[in-house]
Chain A
Amino acid sequence: MKPLLLSHFTATSCIGRGLEQTLDALRRGRCGLAPCAFETVDLDTFVGEVAGVDDVQIPPHLAAFDCRNNRLALLALMQDNFAAAVRAAAAKYGHQRIGVFIGTSTSGILETELAYRRRDPVSGALPDDFHYRTQHNTFSVADFTRHYFDLTGPAVVVSSACSSSAKVFSSARRMMAAGLIDAALVGGVDTLCLTTLYGFNSLGLTAAQACRPYDAARDGISIGEAGAFALLQHAPDELADDAILLLGVGESSDAYHMSSPHPDGLGARIAMQAALNMAGLAAQDIDYINLHGTATPSNDAAEGKAVAALFGATTPCSSTKGATGHTLGAAGGLEAVICALALQHGLLPAGINTRELDPSIPLNYLLANRTQAVARVMSNSFGFGGTNCSLIFGRAN
């Protein structure tokens, strides 16, 4: 593929609002996870809750979009002058020439969960202040973003569980290459809700402690929430050395099971190889892999096998979910931004919380930060339904 420029990017998660706080947390190895005190949830688990989401004011003309997911979207868009960059791109290319591609798994379902507690006792009807289209529907966050910036071109939500906001890069790449748009606002937003907390708990996949990816005693995920965005443009001839480029995307399906990965990580391996092929790179060209690394026993074992088969045991890798939690549909976007920070600042972030690495997984898993020049990195995102996506990012020089 022709590399695409991430001209601007930002992320907000439980480790920080915007790039500066996020980078600082990674440098300090700070964990954003805490015992779950979300809403009325009575589960013994840790979550990565973003502080202050419910203080965000949705503009009055978009009041129907008010829900936790769109509040976090707006909070994230407000960081790092990202909104100004989108407006500048709209002025430059035209409002119809910027596509919107946002990944989410649960959208504003929290509002529906709460509305179901307030059903009319006689008719069973949902309360009048429940807005299906702008709160519940999976498209809501892309529709909100589109309206917020008055963008009038193609827009879509990608919703393939935990690969959603990695796969947005693929959809945007194709639409830009086809010439339908000149720039793409891509990202991922997912927020805490009862469906995912009780759902992952029902599968026995939530950890009682802060999650420990790739630990021998790992026992499940910590659910987090995040909003992360990037503005993709065609790369100009002249680029700053630390400009971040999307070099390749690889996708596959496991065709195996709805909620368990292929035991040998076959689908994951196909996705990583496809990303290398698209980028025209070999495994040894990758300096760091940001693993999917959810900390469930089966995910890390399967991904570990796939990475080892393709990269051997030398490529430095880690999962940053020990810091941020698993932000589900926002994970691909959040970890793409973490990869961009790794490239710009020469930082290979450690996997935190992990004490004793699983000896059956032969990877160069980083337990301490490493500072070195970083030229190219891979980010993995896999999800329920057997959906896999690997992204490769690089510095211009």
Chain B
Amino acid sequence: MKEKSIYEHLKEKGLSRRDFIKLCGTIAGMMGLEFAPPVKALGKMVHPDPTEMVAKALSSQPKLPIVWLEFQDCAGCSEAMSRSSSPLLSKLVLNDLAIEYHETLMASAGYQAEKAKEECLKDYYGRYVLVVEGSPTLAEDGIYCTVAGKSNLDLLREAADGAAAIIATGNCASFGGIPKAKPNPTRACGVGEIIKDKPVVNIPGCPAIPEVTTGTILHFLIMGKLPETDHLKRPLVFYGHTVHDHCLRRPFYEAGKFADNFDGDRARKGYCLYHLGCKGPITYNACASLKWERGLSYPVQSGHPCLGCSEPNFWDGGGFYQGQSAALIPPAAKTSALAAGAGLAAGATLAGINSAKKNRAKKALASAAENSPTDSTTAAPPEKKEE
């Protein structure tokens, strides 16, 4: 029997055609599809309407099975997803795209859950999308994180084997995140460092913006491939600009108006948070444009500097509340004193050698003068010291 398309599933649940087209428009807009890839028709290049393209994909594609694995994480990305601002989209992903296995969200547990996963991996081999949340651990073959008696490395490799694409959501899965922070006892790392033979896309953030995760999954569903990425494998649509680029406090930055503490008048007036350690200028993420909670706000808007959570090693990247230009490791008084001492010693030694040399030369001159008393007036040692 032919598998039902997503549209047919939605129709069964009572979604009208009008609502379906609206949904397609929303998806296209959120994915940043300004126009669809051109199609050649009747000898001309035609740019189809993106909404139409989304609608076609959703009405022709069967459900997209998703396997969601969790390793060293706080489930924050899942939490963000389940409380996503656009209920339409997260509902679509959570209910209608068929997440086949998700430890936190699924009703079943224990053997039942593991059995469901096994079946899914077998049935949908080569077709499912693997979403990874949390960082895998390399230390001692991954025994620091086990599920159902299997180490996380085995679990990851097993699931990645039949995956059509892998999406690493959150900073932990993308770059190692907080588990990777010094001293990193479990040797946490990003998924991309372990799985090399499959397409991996990173959705870093702490948590990842749910619209970005859903958007990337939908992109795969609609386009049949993962979105274009930057050098850190982040989708360019969402990670193409810095938080600073679209920040609503940007005009204050341009005007040179900065808040100097969290409590003061200047902070209340909404001035730029650069002095308070905002990492917006070096952080690539869609916070400032997509925002959170249905576009309600994002950290900088609510008065907290950007922590740079979509960048690798953000947890060890220097203090969160120190201005961007401040020295990360200012030399301690002791180090400076040592450096000064070294300079002093080197200078004094060389000066000593120099003056010994001069004294020798003087003595030589004096003895030469004694030997030839006639020249004694001219051979007097020079008064002025010179190098």
User: Do A and B actually bind?
Assistant: no
Residues of chain B whose beta carbon lies under 8 Å from any beta carbon of chain A: none
